[in-house]
Amino acid sequence: MLKEICYPTWEQPLYVTDQGEVYVALRQQGCYVLPCLHENNRGESFPGALYAVEKPEEMDEESFDLAYRRLAGLPWEILTTKRCAVRETTVEDVDSFYRIYAEPSITEYMENLFRDRDEEIAYTKDYIEKVYAFYGYGMWTVLEKESGAVIGRAGISWREGYDMPELGFVFGVPWQGQGYAYEVCSAILAYAGEELLMERVQALVRPGNRRSLRLCEKLGFVRGGETQQDGEAHLLLVKDL
């Protein structure tokens, strides 16, 4: 079986095949290919496949588009709000992040970027390849719709040693105090509950970080105790979705 799928927004088709040899040949030609698994081809090999499908006839256009974008190295568009768009981070966002993090108040309560830009780019590529591809979510890039500018980062991720997903956020100083953080984080929490089917989300905030504490309280988080992270005391905040 070989099925060719093409939508107007794509630069090239997406193929679906249940034959290992066909899959390998198409990959060698630079094509985007999804393996199809069924009871009659369990012995077939599909080396390097990120995803596989079982019933392509039941997949909708959005599902094929997400698969295409992952194979093509294009960011997923996560959600939009009245003033912002949230999408997966790209390597091209790194320079904007450095401009945001250059403000001392940004790194007063959170870890800075790598001092070496090449290291940060390598980290970003690794994050795209492993975190986005595995979980389907993570920390994303926030853009202002009107200007197209990168104004911050926000998203849902997992922190080692904790049993709840975590809301994280950082917004550049020029966009603070204007409701952007609340607008975006509210939408992300709704997405976490409705699309990712998460039941509870945590946030870790340093006690002196009053701006973040106020935001979390406004978002409906409640204090669940204290914890140590990287040798620093943090308030553990929890929200039921």
* % of the chain exceeding 70 in pLDDT: 100
Closest-CA residue to 86 (of 75, 73, 99): 75
| Cβ contact 211:105 at 8 Å | no
pLDDT digits (tens, 9 = 90+) for 8-26: 999 999 999 999 999 999 9
Contact 178, 188 (CB under 8 A): no
Of 72, 106, 132, the last residue of a domain is: 72
Residue 50 has pLDDT above 90, yes or no: no
Q: Using the 8-state DSSP alphabet, how is residue 189 labeled?
A: H
Q: Of 44, 72, 100, which residue sits at a domain end?
A: 72
pLDDT value of residue 230: 81
Beta bridge partners, 169, equal 154
**Claim to verify: residue 67 and residue 175 sit in the same structural domain:** no
Domain shared by 101 and 173, yes or no: yes
* Least reliable range by pLDDT among 49-53, 117-121, 125-129, 145-149: 49-53
66 with 84, same domain: the answer is: no
- Of 19, 40, 72, the one marking the end of a domain is 72
Alpha carbon distance 125, 234 (integer Å): 29
DSSP secondary structure code for residue 199 in this structure: S
To the question of pTM greater than 0.95 for the whole model, the response is no
Q: Are 188 and 230 in a shared domain? A: yes
CA gap 54, 36 in Å, rounded: 5
Domain containing residue 112: CATH number: 3.40.630.30
Domain check: are 117 and 154 in the same one?
yes
Of the candidates 78, 55, 74, 202, the residue with the CA atom closest to the CA atom of residue 139: 78
Q: Are 110 and 180 within one domain?
A: yes
Tokens 């568009």 label which residue? Answer: 77
Within this chain, do residues 30 and 121 fall inside the same structural domain, yes or no? no
89: pLDDT strictly greater than 90: yes
CA 201 to each of CA 17, 55, 139, 161: distance values in angstroms, whole numbers, following the listed order = 39, 33, 14, 14
Q: Residue 29: exposed, middle, or buried by beta-carbon count in 10 A (0-12, 13-18, 19+)?
A: exposed
Considering the domain architecture, whether residues 56 and 159 belong to the same structural domain is answered as no
User: Can you give the residue range of the structural domain that contains 68?
Assistant: 2-72
> What confidence tier does 229 reach under pLDDT thresholds 50, 70, 90?
confident
pLDDT value for 241: 95
CB 67 within 8 A of CB 51: yes
- The DSSP letter of residue 178 is T
Q: What is the DSSP string of 133-175?
A: HHHS--EEEEEETTT--EEEEEEEEE-TT-SSEEEEEEE-GGG
Q: For the chain, how many structural domains are there in total?
A: 2
Average pLDDT estimate for 103-119: 95
Cα distance between residue 155 and residue 169, in whole Å: 7
pLDDT score of 87 more than 90: yes
Q: Are residues 91 and 64 in the same domain?
A: no
Round the average pLDDT of the chain to a whole number and report it.
95
Same domain, 117 and 62: no
- So what's the pLDDT on residue 42? 85
Per-residue model confidence (pLDDT) at position 103? 96
Model confidence band, residue 85 (pLDDT cutoffs 50, 70, 90)? very high
**Least confident residue range of 102-106, 189-193, 228-232:** 228-232
Q: Do 215 and 106 sit in the same domain of this protein? A: yes
- Same domain, residue pair 117 and 140: yes
Per residue in 173-198, pLDDT tens? Answer: 999 999 999 999 999 999 999 999 99
